[in-house]
Structure 1
Amino acid sequence: MPHEETYDDTRLRRGRLSLPEHVRSPWWELGRRLLAALSILLGTVLLVYVDRGGYRDVNGDGISLIDAVYYTTVTLSTTGYGDIAPVSEGARLVNAFVMTPARIGFLVLLIGTTLEVLATRGREQIRTARWRRKMSHHVVVVGYGTKGRSAVETLLKNGKDREHVVVVDPSASALQDAHSDGLAVVTGDATRREVLRRAGVADADQVIITTDRDDTNVLTALTVRQLNPDAWIVAAVREEENVALMKQSGADSVITSADAVGRLLGLSTLSPTLGSVMEDLLTYGEGLEVAERALLVSEVGKQPQQLPDQVIAVVRDERVFRYFDPVVTQLARGDRLVVVRPAKELPWAPRPGTHDEDLATDGEER
């Protein structure tokens, strides 16, 4: 029997953007509404009682505080028995321009839960439109499994605003996990243009592709490159033989996850000490870290080995040179350094480039 496409299938195919909600306690929401309703009630009682001379009771006696409470409750609830009525011009103006809006607000509060359910879709559309207007130069993460979560965690710990990270994943569990982490999610198949358009790929600076299938990663990279020729694409593949295909598909950087884990396991077996050092380099916020920084003015003309940081590579003219390469014997303006340094600055281990020093960029005068 052929499969009939459901609404959920169509929504998944096209991609649905959902933003993380700011969840509050239901007791907090109930208390807030009750407090607002009580404020309206007390405010209108006070207005009626202060201007009690402008109201007439069918009994002919004056308006007491209890009469003001009674009149206010039947008026706000639209019951209106008519036994108490405004007779002065001031009282009638108050009823027209104060009591009527208060009555509307009171009724809205009474049926607020129903209205909130009915307005959820509209509110979500407004939030989505507002998000799209301000979203640019962001990072799109395709796949929110173990690799995707680790990549996002690294971005956030290095100063990336979580509002500028968008996750694309078809699974409900990924949607829940990403929302728990405060991230916007597009639920859908990332190999489809419409899904990637909803994630704002055309305006993204970087795209990280981390699904569990190499063929999906390749097709996703091709689609991303068609939508955004300038985006920096980082992709993971499981098999080494697919690295070349991944790069041909448009990926700028390819990480072989299976081989990387295998090498780390092998190193840890042959040399537990070397394995622990490599694990330290891959762990953010503790011990050692690998970082890229700009060259400082005070470092121009020096050799990489003469710097306080342990320089392992030099980026010059968008090419990466190892620190011992003769091309980078002397550091020049515009160079960027890949260094191994302490994850946290220590009194005996400074971190150059983190104290607002003058940078040796190409735009500076020589």
Structure 2
Amino acid sequence: MREAVERRLQDRRRTKPSLRPSQRKGRLLHVRSGLSAEKTLLLRVGIVAALIALVIAVFWFDRDGLKDQIDGHISFPDILYFAMITVTTVGYGDIVPVSHTARLIDAFAVTPIRIFIWFIFLGTAYELVVQRIVEEFRLSRIQKQLQGHIVLCGFGHSGFIAAQETVSKGHPADHIVVIDESEDRIQLAADCGFVGLLGDGTSEDTLKNACVGKAKAVIVSTGRDDTTILVILTVRHLSAATKIVANIKQEENIKLANLSGADLVVSPPKIGGYLMADAVETRYATPFLCDLMSAGGQMVLSERRAEPDEVGLTMAEVTAGMVVQVHSHGRDIPFTERNRYIIQPQDTLLIISPPTDARNPSPPAG
């Protein structure tokens, strides 16, 4: 695992990011063509040139149907000139179609080509200029509103559940920024009300566009431990204070994630193993624990500071719910002390209580 991370770090030093320039700008929810902007422009220039050449060829083979009002003679430069002013709809009237065939060709062959060429011009101008300006304006406006938000790197199954649970616990959906390299997942994130950034979570530019320095927390769930650790390193490099929660699959990589700067590491396979082991000997414990972890369950496990009117009470005397643990000045007070421990100011309570309203949409496949 360590060798894999080191190799990927070396690859990042040797090579530039594989994202297109528009992606490195952090454009929101744009349609990706699969080609770079330069290749797209060259391809369209080639199509336009081919269509103009086709118009020139058509006019040349039907030059007898054209009339030059100046000298009465149609030469190849005249055809080239007439094709260009016809395609651009300028039309000076010095060369005109006079035969029925020439007029039909101009109406049913050249006119569709002319319209198609203008569509290419307008589409290219919108995609390469107007759309980028609009997207950068939208991104700038969103960035000004981001403060205390959550950045989610990776919108697979686990990332989707994490985002929905975060919303269920009261965090606004439009203050969750989703980063993923899959356009389909970014579109799904937008449909859910999140802010979507199509890009690489290991890229500093992408993370800066997501304003990780002002984020409340960054959740890293990329699906690969080496990628997750790279994201952690990059986020920690950009912000020393932002809380990082990481999803790590292999238990041996948990230590690496912690050393990389993660504040909290969650290992779904490990948690799943605990639940399955409990399910062997019990029937109701595992469903209850799963229900407890979900904001839409019958009971909710939450964490908060002790209220002023709770200070001085024992854990058992708190009426807002069942206090199962207290974190006090670096110490964890267990449930067994609930009748003896007196709650102090600034204590953090872990409470099981009735849930608030929750939503449970279906997660994405994969």
TM-score calculated relative to the size of structure 1: 0.62
Partner of residue 324, structure 1? 336
Report the CA distance between 1:238 and its aligned residue.
Answer: 0.5
Figure out how many residues of one structure are paired with residues of the other and give that number: 251
Q: Secondary structure at the match of 2:228?
A: helix
Partner of residue 231, structure 2? 220
Using the alignment, how far apart are the partners of 2:282 and 2:205 within structure 1?
Answer: 49
Q: Which runs of 5+ in 2 are unaligned?
A: 1-14, 32-121, 358-366
Question: Closer, same or farther in 2 for the Cα pair 1:221/1:344, shift >3 Å?
Answer: closer
Partner of residue 291, structure 2? 280
Using the alignment, how far apart are the partners of 1:257 and 1:343 within structure 2?
Answer: 23
Question: Closer, same or farther in 2 for the Cα pair 1:235/1:123, shift >3 Å?
Answer: same
Question: Closer, same or farther in 2 for the Cα pair 1:119/1:319, shift >3 Å?
Answer: farther
Using the alignment, how far apart are the partners of 1:205 and 1:194 within structure 2?
Answer: 19
Deviates more, 1:119-128 or 1:288-297: 119-128
Q: Secondary structure at the match of 2:201?
A: coil
Structure 1 letter corresponding to 2:167: L
Alignment partner of 1:170 out of 178, 181, 185: 181
Partner of residue 62, structure 1? none
The ranges of structure 1 where at least 4 consecutive aligned residues each deviate by more than 4 angstroms after the TM superposition are 5-8, 112-118
Using the alignment, how far apart are the partners of 2:237 and 2:140 within structure 1?
Answer: 24
Alignment partner of 2:261 out of 229, 244, 250: 250
* Residues 1:10 and 2:5 aligned together: no
Alignment partner of 1:310 out of 299, 322, 343: 322
Do the aligned partners of 1:313 and 1:339 also contact (CA within 8 Å) in 2? yes
Deviates more, 1:167-176 or 1:222-231: 167-176
* Residues 1:123 and 2:134 aligned together: yes
Using the alignment, how far apart are the partners of 1:171 and 1:18 within structure 2?
Answer: 12
Alignment partner of 2:196 out of 181, 185, 196: 185
Do the aligned partners of 2:150 and 2:216 also contact (CA within 8 Å) in 1? yes
Do the aligned partners of 1:166 and 1:183 also contact (CA within 8 Å) in 2? yes
Question: Closer, same or farther in 2 for the Cα pair 1:323/1:20, shift >3 Å?
Answer: farther
Q: Secondary structure at the match of 2:336?
A: coil
The answer to which structure, 1 or 2, has the higher relative contact order (CA under 8 A, 6+ apart) is 2
Question: Closer, same or farther in 2 for the Cα pair 1:140/1:319, shift >3 Å?
Answer: farther
Structure 1 letter corresponding to 2:187: Q
Do the aligned partners of 1:15 and 1:188 also contact (CA within 8 Å) in 2? no
Report the CA distance between 1:223 and its aligned residue.
Answer: 0.9
Do the aligned partners of 2:229 and 2:257 also contact (CA within 8 Å) in 1? yes
1:100-249 mapped onto 2 (5 Å cutoff): 119-249=130-260
Do the aligned partners of 1:11 and 1:188 also contact (CA within 8 Å) in 2? no
Report the CA distance between 1:153 and its aligned residue.
Answer: 0.6
Do the aligned partners of 2:187 and 2:196 also contact (CA within 8 Å) in 1? no
Partner of residue 355, structure 2? 343
* Residues 1:298 and 2:309 aligned together: yes
Question: Closer, same or farther in 2 for the Cα pair 1:186/1:268, shift >3 Å?
Answer: same
Structure 2 letter corresponding to 1:329: Y
Using the alignment, how far apart are the partners of 1:310 and 1:20 within structure 2?
Answer: 48
1:51-62 mapped onto 2 (5 Å cutoff): none
Structure 1 letter corresponding to 2:24: R
Using the alignment, how far apart are the partners of 1:194 and 1:114 within structure 2?
Answer: 25
- Please tell me the root mean square deviation across aligned C-alpha atoms, in Å: 3.0
**Between the two proteins, what is the percent identity of the paired residues?**
28
